[in-house]
Amino acid sequence: MKTIKHIKELQEHLSFARKTGKSIGLIPTMGALHEGHLSLIKAAARDNDFLVVTIFVNPTQFNNKEDLKRYPRNFDSDLTILSDYPVDIVFTPSEAEMYPSEEKRQFDLSPIDTVMEGKFRSGHFAGVAEIVSKLFEISTPDNAYFGLKDFQQLAIIRKMAKILNMNFNIIGCPIIREKNGLAMSSRNQLLTGEQQAAAPLIYKTLLKSKELKNSLSLSEISAFVKEQIDRHPLMQLEYFEIVDDVSLMPVTSWESPANKIGCIAVQLDEIRLIDNIYFD
């Protein structure tokens, strides 16, 4: 496993790998690795000959500067974890390396960047599209891997890649959960003991809402989720939406033929957690 900080050096190694007939799998991360990230690496290892994991906390996707400051950074332990996996390169660029000048690239991601996360995190998806497009252009992988916990982000990345006519596979991998059901996230490392005890309520509520599908309307399900979350003293519901898993637009009735996914964001004190569940 080789750690590389510069784009040119990364591209030299990738060029050699391609010349020797190796397929390239890319796993973009912001570090603070957990089992969810490792599941992406395992999937990539099954499909590819040469694996690149990126670790870069991208400042342009944080609309809240305090959130950026709080984001966990465990670089040394990340490298230790990765050393046990078939990773060929860990790409760890600096901010200056990724943004040597003012970034001007923009993408028309409407309408999927205006709903759910887009309502509450202004500029977030522009920053995601910006950095992921750069990583795609730098590495030109055969396959790129992302977790389905960030369901809307995956839809954004797929749309961005289509706009740029990028012809490789963007693969969504299942949510990995803690034993208590909480979706694994780097932000979970920031939770206090009290917050960790409260957090499983999110997934429990999603599971219960799915159980109630046949007896409640869409609006009643939404009201149920809001009541369950907001009655907890540490939690506040930011949004819960049941949407079409392709268009991300709200579903108007259970009779709709769309694949329905419930997406949720919860503020747990100062920590923001997201999750989702399919209703079909």
Q: What would the two tokens of residue 89 be?
A: 């390169």
Residues 57 and 137 grouped into a single domain: yes
Query: For position 280, what pLDDT does the model report?
Result: 83
Domain match, 190 and 169 both:
no
Q: Are residues 15 and 72 in the same domain?
A: yes
Is there a domain that residue 181 lies in?
Answer: no
Q: Does residue 73 form part of some domain?
A: yes
Classify residue 82: in a domain, yes or no: yes
Nearest to 142 by CA among 228, 238, 22, 38: 22
Last residue of a domain, one of 140, 173, 206: 173
User: Does 192 lie in the same domain as 111?
Assistant: no
Please indicate, yes or no, whether residues 163 and 35 belong to a single structural domain of this protein: yes
Q: What is the pTM of this model?
A: 0.96
Cα 201 versus chain centre, distance: 21
Nearest to 66 by CA among 187, 202, 195, 236: 187
Q: Is there a single domain that holds both residue 236 and residue 169?
A: no
User: Domains in the chain: how many in total?
Assistant: 2
CB 202 within 8 A of CB 264: yes
The residue among 30, 28, 103 whose CA lies nearest residue 71 is 30
pLDDT tens over the chain, length 280 residues: 999 999 999 999 999 999 999 999 999 999 999 999 999 999 999 999 999 999 999 999 998 888 999 999 999 999 999 999 999 999 999 999 999 998 778 899 999 999 999 999 999 999 999 999 999 999 999 999 999 999 999 999 999 999 999 999 999 999 999 999 999 999 999 999 999 999 999 999 999 999 999 999 999 999 999 999 999 999 999 999 999 999 999 999 999 999 999 999 999 999 999 999 999 8
The predicted pLDDT at position 74 comes to 93
Is 81 in the same domain as 201?
A: no
Domain of residue 199 covers 186-274
Q: What amino acid positions are annotated as catalytic residues?
A: 37
Residue 279 belongs to a domain: no
